[in-house]
Amino acid sequence: MKTRKLLSILLIVVVVVLAIFAARSIMRPEKFRQVYELRKSANVTNLTTIRSAQAIYKNVYKKYASSMDSLVDFVKNGTVKIEKNVGSFPDTMSEAQAFKLGLIHKEVVEVPALEKMLELDNKLTPDNFKNFQYIPFSDKKQYEIQTGSIASKTYEIPVYMIEVPLDDILVNMDRSINPENANVLSRLWNKIFYNNLSEENQYKSQYADMYMGSLTEASTAGSWE
């Protein structure tokens, strides 16, 4: 009887272990995909914010910012000159008539660069610009901007490119899998099913680096578009 009980217990243990391994083989690649998609989305948010900032920077300086520090400084302290109508006129009068009568006139004023960026892209909020220079989930590693120019028949076209290697996208992956605020059961679950997931090179091979812009053509498109 004792031998039969021991065999039964051993069989149950074997079945449980096999079930865990079977579940791991299904759950691990899916978890890897989820983490990658989360990281990709966070990078897309930052890169599109950088693109908006670079567009305004180029309008002011006729070139793109060559470093994140200079772009961040422009967002925080830069200004943009815009032309606006000053004065007022009745609703019954057209703008052209008001100009002709001198009721309104154009005046060049300076507005904060950030204000102009938010005006041109209504998807952005001030929160987008708080840490847009850093690769998400990294320990404040900044994006690197490469700049150059392309010769056309009449002038040089400024271009820039930002590359985000896959290792930078997935940096500190364990923090997404097993966050510090997870309870004991969640930590145990993650330990069993997702331990060392960041080292699974066979999963990494299914995903690619990200980039935005180009040094060989006048494009600011991203790899996700």
- Report the DSSP beta bridge partners of residue 145: 162
Which pLDDT score is estimated for 14?
60
pLDDT tens digits, one per residue of 195-215: 888 888 889 999 999 999 999
Structure tokens of 152?
């056309």
Whether the Cβ atoms of residue 65 and residue 57 lie closer than 8 Å to each other: yes
Q: Bigger pLDDT: 153 or 53?
A: 53
Angle between helix 2-61 and helix 184-194 axes, rounded to 10 deg: 90
The residue ranking higher by pLDDT, 185 or 224, is: 224
What percentage of the chain exceeds 70 in pLDDT?
A: 88
Per-residue pLDDT at 103: 67
- For residue 173, pLDDT beyond 80: yes
pLDDT band for position 108 (cuts 50, 70, 90): confident
The gap from C-alpha 126 to its chain's centroid, in whole angstroms, comes to: 15
pLDDT in tens, 110-153: 889 999 999 988 889 999 999 999 999 999 999 999 999 999 88
Q: Whose structure tokens read 């009721």?
A: 103
User: For residues 180 and 200, which has the higher predicted lDDT (pLDDT)?
Assistant: 200
Closest CA to 171 of 123, 135, 213: 135
pLDDT of residue 15: 56
Residue 214 sits at the vertex; the CA angle it makes with 213 and 219, to the nearest 5 degrees, is 65
**Structure token pair of residue 63:** 């070139």
pLDDT tens-digit series, residues 24-44:
667 788 899 999 999 999 999
Tokens of 219: 């494009």
Place of tokens 């300086």: 61
Model pLDDT, residue 1: 60
CA–CA distances in Å: residue 211 to residues 16, 42, 86, 203: 44, 13, 43, 20
Q: What are phi and psi of 121, to 5 degrees?
A: -130, 100
pLDDT at 17 > cutoff 60? no
- pLDDT for position 44: 98
Query: Is residue 23 over pLDDT 70?
Result: no
